[in-house]
Each structure stands twice: as C-alpha cells, then as structure tokens.
C-alpha cells in the first residue's frame, strides 16, 4: 500500500510539472518556395534551450510559462526572430518563412549516409541544387548540374542532358546511379539512368544531390562513379496549386514549349496528397549523322568509303533513314501521405511517363518511340524503422536503331535490288534494328537507425529482382539462357549494409561502413568504407577510403544485338584457335579522398575542396570485337548466334581487363558580397596512369598499352565562374563554363584529334574524316560557353523567368552520335493559386 501511495504521489508531481509546461511549435520554410528547411537551428534567446527542425521542417520546444524570443538560423538564409507568450500548459504555434542569403554549408542532405545530416558534416563530396534555385530557373533543371564542380556535363541533344563523374564515360554509361525518393530510377535491362524518361516534374523537386565518387555501401552496385539523388516535395509543407507555362526557341529557330501542373493539399493532420502532370514538346537540333557501309553500288563502286567521294573530295556517308526530330514527353505522378500517429507515417506514390526523342548510343542514334516508364512505391516510417517496396516497369514496342536500319535499307537497295518501299519495310529491321521492352523490377528495403551514446548506427537489407523482357529483340531469351523462365530473364540481388558513426568529442567523428551483396550470376561481393571527420566551428575536414563495384547489367550478361553480332558475356567464349575469353565479372574501384568544406572568411567566403586517388581493376570494357568464336559457354556458337550465316561466329562482347589509376581534385569557392549577391568559381582536374609493361592492360591486343586501351573519355581540366543575385523580387545569374578539348572513343563512336600512326577499329585516326562506321568530327570540348537566367516575382501568385543556355548560340561538340548543340532560350510564367 505504501508503495502504491508513493507511486501515486510521483505521478501527481509529474502531472503537475507537465501542466506547468508549455510548448512552442511550428514549421520553418523558404519564404518563396514554401519548402521545409531541414535542420534549421531553433534557439530560445538568452538560454541554451533549443532544437532543430525535422525532415518536414517542423520543430517543438518545451518551456515554462513566460515570454520568449525565438531565434531561427539556417546557413544560406538570413536569421529570423519572433516573440511569443506561452501560458501555463499552453501551446503556441509560430511558423517561420526565411529569406535566402548567407553562407552555404549547413543545409541538410541525405545522400551521404541515407539519413539527414548537415552538408558540412557529410562523409562524401556532395553537390546540391535546392528548390529555390530550380524555381528561379526557366530551363531544364538538369542544366544546373553543369554549374557543379567535378561533373562532366554534356548535352547529348536538346532533350537529353547527361553527366558523368571522374572519367570513363561512354555512349552507354551505367556507372552513375540515379535515385528518386529512395528508389532506383534506372532501366531494367541496360542499367542506364532514366534521365529524360523520369516521371518527376520540375515543380515537385525539393532538391537534387550529386555525390562525387563511390557510395556503394549504402546504395549497392553501380553507385560507382557517382550518384544523382532527386528528393521530391512533401505536400504537407508545399500546399497549393502551381501552373507553369514554358515557351521558347532553340538556336535553330525551332519552337519548344511545356505545360505543367502541380496540386498539393493537406486535408487534415493525418492526410495529405499531391498530383502533377506535364506535357512538353520540342524539335531536336537539325543534324543528320553520317553512316558508312562498305557496299558495292550498281557500278561496282564502294559506297560510303574514301574510295567513293562526294563532289568536295571528302568521303560521304549515308544520312540517317527516316530521321524524326520531333520530341515530346508526358509525365504524371501522384502521392498520398497518411500519418495516423506522430511515430507512424505511410507514403504511397506512383508515376508514369511516355517519351519520344533521339538517344545517342555506341552505334549511332536510337529513335525512341513511345517509351513508357511507370512505378508504384510504398514507404513506411515508424520510429527508428524505415521500410519500402516498389515496382518499376518499362515498355516500348517500336524503338529502333537508326544506324542499323539505315545500313540494312541501303544494302537492300544496292545489293538485293529492292524497291524503296520494300527496303523501308520489314526488311530494314531484319538485322536487329528493332528494340522492344516489356521489363519490370521489384525492390524491397528495410532500414533501422539508433543512437547509443556517441555511436550512431544505420543498418539495412535490400532485395531486387530484375525481370528483363525484350520480346526477343535484343536479349538472349531462349533455352540457351539458364535465367530465362519462358517469359523473362530473372536475376535476383540481395544486399545488407551497416553504417557506424562514432563521436569522440572535440569535433572528431569516425565512420565505418560495410556492405555484402549476393548476385545470382556474380555471387558474393563485399564493399567496405572508412572515414575520419574533424568538425570545427566554421567547417570540417574529412579523410575517407571507400570501395565500389560496377556489376554487369543484364544487357552485358545476356545481350543479343544485331542478330548476334553483339552477345552478352555471362558464360565466356571459346575462340576459333581454342583461346578462352572468360566471362565478365564485376569491376572494382578503390577511392581515397581528402576534403575540406566550410567557411574561410566567416559569413563571406565558403570553399569546398577535395583530392582523390582511384584504383580501378578488372576494368569493364565497352563492347569490343573478340574475334571468331566457336562456343558461348557450353553452347556451340551456331546455336546461339542467329546471324551465324552472315557473321560466321564473329562476336563483339564485354570483357574485364587490367588495372588503371585515376586521380584528381575539385575546388569550388563562393564569395558573398551581400546576403543576396554572390560569386562562385570552380575548377576540376582529372588524370590517369597505367602500367605500360603490364600485358593485362593491353585491351586492344596490339602489343602496346596506351590511351586507346584505357578510353578515359574525360577532359583533364574544366571549370566555371558565375554571378548570382536573388532577393524577394528579382533573381539573376550569369555562368561561364570552360571545358578543355579531349579525345573520346566509345565503340563505333570517335571524336579525336589526328593520330596518323595509330589506328582505331582498323582505320587511321584522322580528324574530320571517316572512322569505322561513323565520322570523326574532332575532339569534344574545347569551348567556353555562357548561360544566363533572369527572374521576377510580381507577388506571391505570379512569377516570370527567362533562361538562355549557350547564350551566344555557339555550335558546340559535346557528345558523339548527337547533334552539335546550340542555344536554348526559354521564357517561363508561373501561377501559384
């Protein structure tokens, strides 16, 4: 009885204390975009009481009755204050809408550790683009990636901006992982990033985070060279209806336009939703690729070779057959947020896109026709747990290779004597020009995080099942593939990871992470990461060691292109002389990186610098001819290669080879003249080395190890400088980008200066001349270009923006199998209802 009485007294005392305590709560947002500011510092003036905002920008502080001044600070925003009076047991709501201005660095990112953390304290080099920047920019928000250090940005057409990180780019590059709201945004069979196929519209992007270097411990295989992470807006903190109208013109004089709608509504404290849609259309830059084929015409002349010259004495190729420069995109998305309790949250979202455009590849351009991507995702947050399941689908029936179809057409005209109508029909697709896709993927993940004093733990497990289906157009889908179930090629991957951060005090933190993956084809792989951080008052140093792997894609493993001329290498090959070509395995990357991020002059100068050294082994080659083969694995080549009668077992495939070292440094500096007006400059250096005496590095087998074996495909030097102004009404930015000229080789594609004593695919390397089946227009890069953006906000409802990409309409060679890019000029009008 005495114990019960004592317990009752304690309960009454606790209730009494609670009754005398009040609460101050609210949301901190950007004053223009209404986006939540995650990790903003909340402090009761004159005390040590405070907190920080959560992932939704919300905060809560318990206080005794009284009058208090709340001070909110967030780096890159001007401080804000408010005075409130709290009654006994009362609750006071105080929201803050903060104005941009100030030094960057304390923004919160999630890509480095898969949890919110301040940018200056992240163990990775992360470039960030926030909603305010996107809202003030009229053009494609991907163009803002061009302004980030360490990124090789290029426009592979008016609708296909793309990027690469730290070398080894190609026209079919799957080494950079794209993620949207925690789900992989990559194609199932090829592993390529969605890019323009993505379903997300510009107005729903909260921020974009670009990680430089491997981040495989958290994201798995193919977070290898880098990671692009798109985080979308929460409807609970971004309510309203936004209608955006875009109109513009390309440097060719062709029109472009876009109509976008986003509506978000917080129904009550438990339910919120958002829906959005987009239709965009444009015309690709005017240009037709030269396609060369060695075929005799009716007079016995070789067509498309130096022996068959045009009137100017230069070898002429065929123009692409039935080239359609029309571009259009349709995107739809919706999401439902349900929060039954403060500890439990459910998010359901789905999306769809349909796309038509031109896409460059290793063998010329593909005509993308009605390529559809769709997904459904369910996420759950409960206290320290996170779980998700999502399904991704991809579908196209009529996409085709323009290069292959063009060659087949002229072969029919010149050799088979077909009429134009006959040659353009089914005959032009018979060598494998058609690409169909009916693939899908399922992913599941569970994650747990906990703090044990100074130790933070993040642990999780993932599962992925790829079901690739090309309807027999570009994959080995028959009884010779043990992973074919009669409908799909089914490949499973399983992964588990743990990420530990220990706080020693005094600003020192240590990081240890590890990941274990099991792949149905390539079996077990282990990837570790270690790091040490020193966090000071104005910045932080970091030293990290990490590994990454690039797992071959389903196309690499089971590809069957152009009637078996290109075959996947999941089983190895036997050459005619008995030599074995081993099956492809994962490429491994080790990276050591030292970096500093922080303020040099408080509230004036912010720098972000890193230096890194990479070791790549078992390098993953582009598609290459290995010679005449007699078997693929245990199967005779005549059973696998459908075009055996034409090719006789000649096969091109993907192999591993050698060891390459790359190294470089990235530096950016931002100086704030005022909180609204700043200047940014960045510079990146990248180079490589290889053991020339190691025969394993002789990829092309010519007895000499040189750049034609390694195919770095990146500029040694690049940089940029820009001015930016943004206040409550007006915004403006001018950015200059410099890219040093560099040689580029990707399978049949070449862009190089002349090397008369060297050959590539059997032909001398001569600038402005034929090379293999395409034309060498000379090296990429070698330019300085300017981008401009202007914006004016009339009031909370109306805003107008103007952007000029390639302001002076220069003709730039940025990529192969793609038109030289010119200017893109866009006017945007936004209505917020």
Q: Tens digits of per-residue pLDDT, 717-763? A: 999 999 999 988 999 999 999 999 999 999 889 999 999 999 888 88
Name 88's bridge partners.
none
Q: How far apart are the first and last CA of the chain?
A: 64
- Model pLDDT, residue 327: 97
Q: What percent of the chain has pLDDT over 70?
A: 92
Structure tokens that stand for 314 in this block: 């230069």
Q: Is the dihedral of CA 275, 796, 734, 287 positive or negative?
A: positive
pLDDT band with cut points at 50, 70 and 90 for residue 605: very high
Question: Alpha carbon of 476 to those of 392, 481, 487, 561: distances in Å?
Answer: 22, 6, 11, 9
Work out the mean pLDDT of the chain and round it to a whole number: 88
Residue 813: what are its φ and ψ, rounded to 5°?
A: -95, 100
- Model pLDDT, residue 304: 44
**In whole angstroms, what separates CA 362 from the centre of its chain?**
19
Where does 610-678 have alpha helices with state H? Answer: 637-640, 644-647
Average pLDDT over residues 512-524: 94
Q: Which residue has the higher pLDDT, 400 or 213?
A: 400
Average pLDDT over residues 184-192: 94
- Helix (H) or strand (E) run with residue 554 in it: helix 554-558
On whether the CB atoms of residues 641 and 626 are closer than 8 A, the answer is: no
Structure tokens that stand for 435 in this block: 């690409």
Average pLDDT over residues 321-339: 96
Residue 604 has a CB neighbour count (10 Å cut-off) of: 13
Name 458's bridge partners.
449, 499
Query: Which distant-in-sequence residues (6+ apart) come within 8 Å of 124 by Cβ?
Result: 111, 112, 211, 212, 213, 215, 544
Q: Is the dihedral of CA 752, 756, 760, 766 positive or negative?
A: positive
Average pLDDT over residues 91-112: 72
Average pLDDT over residues 499-518: 93
Say which DSSP state 203 is in: G
CA distance 412 to 420: 9
DSSP 124-138: SEEEEEEHHHHHT--
Work out whether strand 91-93 and strand 22-30 pair parallel, antiparallel, or are unpaired: parallel
Q: Tens digits of per-residue pLDDT, 682-712? A: 999 999 999 998 888 887 778 888 888 888 9
Angle CA 93–95–96, to nearest 5? 155
- Model pLDDT, residue 74: 73
Average pLDDT over residues 381-401: 96
Query: Which distant-in-sequence residues (6+ apart) come within 8 Å of 583 by Cβ?
Result: 569, 570, 571, 572, 633
Is the confidence at residue 104, as pLDDT, over 80? Answer: no
pLDDT band with cut points at 50, 70 and 90 for residue 390: very high
Average pLDDT over residues 231-246: 93
Structure tokens that stand for 239 in this block: 């309510």
- Model pLDDT, residue 75: 58
- Model pLDDT, residue 76: 63
Residue 7 has a CB neighbour count (10 Å cut-off) of: 10
Structure tokens that stand for 443 in this block: 């992913």
pLDDT band with cut points at 50, 70 and 90 for residue 805: very high
Q: Which residues of 89-107 are buried (b: 16+ CB within 10 A; e: fewer)?
A: eeebebebebbbbbbbbbb
Say which DSSP state 167 is in: S
Q: Tens digits of per-residue pLDDT, 404-461? A: 999 899 888 878 889 999 999 999 999 889 999 999 999 999 999 998 888 999 999 9
Is the confidence at residue 10, as pLDDT, over 50? Answer: no
Average pLDDT over residues 806-821: 95
Work out whether strand 176-180 and strand 183-184 pair parallel, antiparallel, or are unpaired: antiparallel
Instruction: Report the residue count for the chain.
Output: 833
- Model pLDDT, residue 41: 76
- Model pLDDT, residue 113: 66
Name 828's bridge partners.
246, 801
On whether the CB atoms of residues 650 and 640 are closer than 8 A, the answer is: no
Average pLDDT over residues 225-230: 88
Where does 349-450 have alpha helices with state H? Answer: 402-414, 420-424
On whether the CB atoms of residues 577 and 550 are closer than 8 A, the answer is: no
Sheet with 80-86, strands from edge to edge, namely: 50-52, 41-44, 66-73, 80-86
> pTM of the predicted model, to two decimals?
0.87
pLDDT band with cut points at 50, 70 and 90 for residue 602: confident
Is the confidence at residue 6, as pLDDT, over 60? Answer: no
pLDDT band with cut points at 50, 70 and 90 for residue 782: very high
- Model pLDDT, residue 297: 45
CA distance 507 to 483: 51
pLDDT band with cut points at 50, 70 and 90 for residue 303: very low
Residue with token string 């609670």: 18
pLDDT band with cut points at 50, 70 and 90 for residue 15: very low
Mind listing the domains of the chain with CATH numbers? 20-98 (2.60.40.1120), 137-288+323-742+780-832 (2.40.170.20)
Query: Which has the minimum average pLDDT: 22-26, 273-277, 649-653?
Result: 22-26
Residue with token string 């039935």: 322
Name 652's bridge partners.
566, 625
Q: Tens digits of per-residue pLDDT, 459-481? A: 999 999 999 999 999 999 998 89
Rg from Cα positions in the chain: 28
Query: Which has the minimum average pLDDT: 60-64, 475-479, 664-668?
Result: 60-64
Residue 506 has a CB neighbour count (10 Å cut-off) of: 9
On whether the CB atoms of residues 459 and 385 are closer than 8 A, the answer is: no
- Model pLDDT, residue 16: 40
Structure tokens that stand for 230 in this block: 């798109």
Is the confidence at residue 334, as pLDDT, over 80? Answer: yes
DSSP 722-757: EEEEE-SSEEEEEEEEEE--B-EEETTEEE---EEE
Work out whether strand 650-653 and strand 624-632 pair parallel, antiparallel, or are unpaired: antiparallel
On whether the CB atoms of residues 71 and 57 are closer than 8 A, the answer is: no
């Amino acid at each position: 009885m005495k114990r019960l009485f004592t317990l009752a007294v304690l309960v009454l005392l606790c209730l009494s204390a609670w009754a005398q305590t009040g609460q101050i709560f609210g949301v901190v947002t950007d004053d223009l975009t209404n986006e939540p500011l995650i990790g903003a510092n909340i402090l009761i003036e004159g005390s040590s009481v405070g907190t920080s905002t959560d992932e939704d920008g919300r905060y809560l502080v318990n206080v005794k009755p009284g009058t208090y001044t709340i001070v909110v600070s967030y780096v890159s925003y001007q401080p804000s204050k408010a005075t409130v009076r709290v009654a006994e047991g009362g609750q006071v709501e105080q929201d803050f809408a903060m104005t941009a201005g100030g030094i960057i660095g304390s923004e919160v990112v999630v890509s480095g550790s898969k949890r919110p953390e301040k940018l200056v304290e992240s163990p990775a080099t992360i470039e960030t683009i926030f909603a305010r920047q996107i809202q003030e920019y009229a053009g494609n928000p991907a163009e803002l990636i061009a302004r980030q250090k360490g990124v090789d940005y290029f426009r592979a057409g008016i609708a296909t901006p793309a990027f690469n990180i730290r070398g080894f780019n190609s026209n079919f590059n799957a080494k950079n992982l794209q993620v949207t709201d925690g789900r992989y945004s990559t194609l199932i069979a090829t592993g390529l990033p969605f890019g323009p196929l993505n379903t997300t519209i510009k107005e729903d992007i909260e921020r974009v985070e670009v990680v430089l270097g491997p981040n495989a411990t958290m994201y798995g295989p193919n977070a290898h060279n880098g990671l692009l992470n798109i985080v979308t807006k929460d409807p609970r903190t971004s309510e309203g209806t936004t209608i955006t109208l875009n109109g513009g013109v390309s440097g060719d004089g062709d029109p472009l336009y876009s109509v976008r709608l986003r509506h978000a509504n917080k129904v009550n404290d438990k339910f919120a939703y958002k829906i959005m849609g987009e239709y965009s259309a444009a015309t690709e830059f005017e240009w037709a690729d030269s396609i060369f084929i060695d075929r005799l015409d009716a007079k016995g002349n070789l067509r498309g070779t130096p022996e068959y010259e045009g009137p100017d004495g230069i070898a002429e190729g065929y123009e692409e057959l039935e080239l359609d420069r029309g571009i259009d995109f349709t995107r739809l998305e919706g999401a439902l947020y349900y929060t039954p309790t403060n500890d439990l949250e459910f998010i359901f979202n789905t999306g769809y896109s349909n796309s038509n455009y031109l896409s460059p590849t290793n063998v010329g351009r593909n005509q993308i026709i009605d390529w559809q991507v769709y997904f459904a995702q369910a996420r759950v947050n409960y206290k320290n747990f996170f779980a998700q399941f999502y399904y991704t689908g991809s579908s196209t029936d009529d996409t085709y290779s323009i290069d292959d179809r063009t060659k087949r057409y002229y072969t029919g005209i010149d050799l088979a004597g077909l009429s134009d109508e006959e040659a353009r029909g089914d005959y032009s697709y018979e060598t494998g020009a058609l690409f169909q896709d009916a693939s899908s993927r399922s992913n599941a993940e569970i994650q747990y995080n906990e703090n044990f004093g100074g130790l933070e733990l993040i642990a999780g497990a993932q599962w992925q099942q790829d079901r690739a289906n090309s309807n027999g157009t570009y994959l080995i889908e028959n009884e010779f593939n043990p992973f074919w179930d009669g409908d799909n090629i089914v490949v499973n991957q399983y992964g588990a990871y743990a990420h530990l951060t220990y706080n020693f005090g005094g600003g020192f933190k240590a990081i240890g992470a590890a990941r274990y993956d099991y792949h149905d084809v390539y079996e077990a792989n282990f990837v570790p990461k270690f790091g040490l951080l020193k966090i000071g008052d104005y910045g932080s140093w970091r030293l990290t060691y990490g590994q990454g792997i690039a797992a071959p894609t389903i196309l690499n493993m089971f590809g069957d292109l152009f009637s078996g001329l290109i075959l996947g290498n999941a089983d190895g090959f036997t050459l005619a002389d008995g030599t074995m070509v081993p099956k492809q395995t994962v490429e491994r990357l080790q990276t050591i990186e030292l970096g500093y991020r922080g303020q040099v002059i408080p509230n004036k100068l912010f720098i972000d610098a890193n230096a890194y050294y990479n070791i790549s082994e078992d390098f993953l080659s582009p598609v290459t001819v290995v010679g005449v083969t007699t078997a693929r694995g245990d199967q005779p080549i005549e059973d696998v290669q459908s075009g055996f009668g034409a090719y006789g077992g000649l096969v091109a495939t993907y192999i591993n080879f050698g060891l390459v070292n790359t190294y470089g440094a990235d530096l950016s500096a931002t100086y704030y003249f005022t909180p609204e007006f700043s200047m940014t400059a960045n510079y990146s250096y990248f180079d490589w080395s290889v053991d020339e005496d190691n025969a394993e590095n002789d990829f092309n087998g010519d007895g000499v190890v040189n750049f034609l074996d390694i195919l770095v495909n990146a500029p040694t030097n690049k940089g940029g400088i820009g001015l930016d102004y943004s206040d409550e009404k007006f915004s403006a930015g001018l950015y200059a980008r410099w890219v040093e000229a560099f040689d580029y080789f990707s399978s049949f594609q070449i862009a190089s200066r002349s090397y008369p004593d060297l050959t590539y695919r059997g032909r001398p390397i001569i600038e402005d001349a034929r090379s293999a089946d395409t034309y060498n227009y000379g090296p990429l890069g070698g330019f300085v270009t300017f981008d401009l953006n202007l914006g004016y906000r009339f009031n909370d409802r109306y805003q107008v923006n103007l952007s000029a990409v390639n302001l002076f309409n220069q003709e730039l060679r940025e990529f192969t199998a793609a038109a030289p890019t010119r200017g893109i000029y866009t006017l945007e009008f936004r209505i917020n209802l």
